[in-house]
Amino acid sequence: MDLGIKDRVAVVAASSRGLGQAVARGLAKEGAKLALCARASAPMDAAAEEIRRETGAEVMTRALDVTDYDAVRGFVAAVVERFGRLDICVANAGGPPAKSFAETTMEDWRAAADLNLMSTVYFAKEALPVMQRQQWGRFIAITSVAVKQPVEGLILSNAVRSAVSGLIKTLANEYGRYGVLVNNVCPGYTATARLVELSHRLAEKEGVDAAEIEARWARQTALGRVGRPEEFADLVVFLASERATYITGASIAVDGGLVKGLY
Ligand code: NAD
């Protein structure tokens, strides 16, 4: 299937590793031009170089914190200046810390809202008007299965990401008439550095092995295993493509059957 992504210009946020990097690589393999960002420039540049070498894609990078609106605004403006357009924007960030409600502070709540909700607002605020002018665009947020089924011990993520779902659904309604499709992709347990960190933190807390935590996660899925970042990226790449023309306002899980509800 030709996805029709060749020469489309894609911003992928928080893409020096993990799901963001897998999405960037997937888009590059389909011929997209990339603009990547993450907090630290060294891992960002290393990831960009690897993608260039593998795919020959044109890749620009910028070190920025997605919680800094001025930085996001400057980045999106630089992308449009360099490439003359912006077709695809994947909003992504790190995840908030694993805590119970009793352990959280007010500062934790504000930080989680900045990291996962406001960063998505910043990218939407800058990218959607460009897509509206072009009468074509794909805006995709990376959230979590937490928006469908809260994850134990991750109250900050469970609460804040549901706000992102509401944002995405509303943006889909506002921008559909301009040919801009807005969706939410919700990873389940996927083998990235974040998942490894999370398994070690929980293992320490419970006094068990990290492998035991990972096996527990795998058992919760219908497929009996955690996912690979490329399996997640494949859906994002499809939603970003010319082939996905009638899917908008959706929250789609890529979770190996982790969520037990019907929808
Ligand atoms: P990761 O920690 O492996 O990678 C996160 C990336 O975000 C890195 O490139 C990091 O540099 C960048 N980043 C973090 N904070 C940033 C900031 N403030 N500004 C700019 N860049 C920043 O995480 P991941 O596993 O790839 O997960 C991506 C998102 O998906 C996270 O929000 C995570 O919570 C969520 N998620 C992941 C899983 C999973 O199993 N991996 C499951 C559900 C949800």
Report which protein residue has its CA nearest ligand 1's atom 34. Answer: 95
User: How many C-beta atoms surround the C-beta of residue 94 within 10 A?
Assistant: 17
**Ligand 1: which residues within 6 Å by Cβ?**
14-20, 38-39, 65-67, 92-95, 115, 142, 144, 187, 189-190, 192-195
Cα 164-190-76 angle, rounded to 5 deg: 45
**pLDDT per position as a tens digit, 212-254:** 999 999 999 999 999 999 999 999 999 999 999 999 999 999 9
- The domains found in the chain, sorted by start residue, are 9-189+228-254 (3.40.50.720)
Q: What is the pLDDT of residue 16?
A: 97
DSSP reduced 3-state for 97 = coil
Lowest mean pLDDT among 12-21, 47-56, 205-214, 251-260: 205-214
Q: H/E element holding 252?
A: strand 251-254
Interval between CA 65 and ligand 1 midpoint (Å): 12
- Looking at the DSSP bridge assignments, the partners of residue 63 are 38
**pLDDT per position as a tens digit, 50-104:** 999 999 999 999 999 999 999 999 999 999 999 999 999 999 999 999 899 999 9
Give dist(CA 259, CA 107) in Å, integer. Answer: 30
Give dist(CA 245, CA 109) in Å, integer. Answer: 36
Give dist(CA 225, CA 192) in Å, integer. Answer: 14
Report which protein residue has its CA nearest ligand 1's atom 10. Answer: 14
**pLDDT per position as a tens digit, 2-11:** 999 999 999 9
| Residue 189 CA, closest ligand 1 atom number | 40
Percent of the chain predicted with pLDDT > 70? 100
**pLDDT per position as a tens digit, 181-194:** 999 999 999 999 98
User: Does 205 have pLDDT greater than 90?
Assistant: no
Interval between CA 20 and ligand 1 midpoint (Å): 7
Which of 24, 26, 62, 20 minimizes the C-alpha distance to 45?
62
Residues in the chain: 263
